[in-house]
Amino acid sequence: MTRRFGMFLLAAAFVAGACSRKTPAPSMAAMTGDTSTSMPSRGAVYLTPAQSSAIGVTYTVVQSGPLARSIRTVGEVVAPESGLVDVTAKVDGYVEHLYVSTTGAAVRRGDPLLAIYSPMLVAAEQEFLTSVHLAATVDSADPDATRNAQALVSAARGRLAYWDISAEQIIRLERTGEITKTLTLAAPVSGVVLDKAVVEGQAVVAGTRLYQLASLSSVWLVGDVFEQDLSAIHIGAPTRVAFAAYPGRSWDGRVTFLSPVVPSQ
């Protein structure tokens, strides 16, 4: 009997507490729709031109038209691959003198770059002079001997030409008989020295790259974009390029190449 009475009292207390927490009746202002007590509206915000520029706010006139997506990235100006030229030695030797000794120097086609002393060149020149002398002393009445002598001269002359000895140098060697111990390499194109990989006194072997030249009359601008932006880039897409060195100026162009490889890093 006592347990039932205690449970009843607990239930009665719960009902009384629930009744005491009833939602209060709406106020007269809410019932009549009066909004004079609601939060006041905020005023307009005005930005100065300096503030707008600092936070990147831009203004434009609303108009109908297709939506355009702009991708902003950084790029690097590089020499075009089609304009790169390597100057290499075709004979072993030693660098005796540098006519162009600094990277970034501008050269014209035919300008001397360096002189190489080559014992192989001296031996080839001596062989050419010997063959010329032999051809001059052979009996012209013997056609086979004359033909063989001329073949030796042609072979010696061709060997010098393969080593980039000019035709004028070969003619002078044949006329004067004076052996030149150095080979002068000239610039094959007009442009700028991008890389100089040689110093005076250095030993070089055939195939060594001595200079890298490039014509900078036109350049490439290579830009990197994130992988998620690649779908928006296509051949012929318009571009606009700006440089910090030329504030307020820009150049328009178009995408001409997309790399088929995405770097792993």
Any idea what DSSP says for residue 49? Answer: H
Assess if residue 134 is contained within a domain: yes
Of 94, 107, 61, 136, nearest in space to 215 by CA: 107
- Residue 249, in any domain of the structure: no
Residue 82 lies in a domain: no
Query: What is the pLDDT at residue 23?
Result: 46
Enclosing domain of residue 156: 119-180
Three-state secondary structure string covering 189-234: CCEEEEEECCCCCCEECCCCEEEEEECCCCCEEEECCCHHHHHHCC
Predicted structure pTM score: 0.62
Domain count, the chain: 1
On whether residue 132 sits in a domain, the answer given is yes
Q: Is the pLDDT of residue 33 over 50?
A: no
In sequence order, what are the residues at sequence separation of 6 or more whose Cβ sits closer than 8 angstroms to the Cβ of residue 256?
235
- 94 within domain boundaries: no
Confidence of residue 28 (pLDDT cuts 50, 70, 90): very low
pLDDT given for residue 41 in this prediction? 63
- Judged on CB neighbours under 10 Å (0-12, 13-18, 19+), 222 is exposed
In the predicted structure, residue 80 carries a pLDDT above the cut 70: yes
- Establish if 142 belongs to a structural domain: yes
Q: Does 85 map to a domain?
A: no
Q: Are 210 and 114 in contact (CB under 8 A)?
A: yes
DSSP assignment of 121-187: HHHHHHHHHHHHHHHHHS-TT-HHHHHHHHHHHHHHHHHHHHTT--HHHHHHHHHH-PPP-EEEEE-
Over residues 214-251, the pLDDT tens digits come to 988 888 999 888 888 888 888 999 999 999 899 999 99
pLDDT per position as a tens digit, 160-217: 888 878 788 888 888 888 888 888 889 999 999 999 999 999 999 988 899 999 988 8
Within-domain flag for 17: no
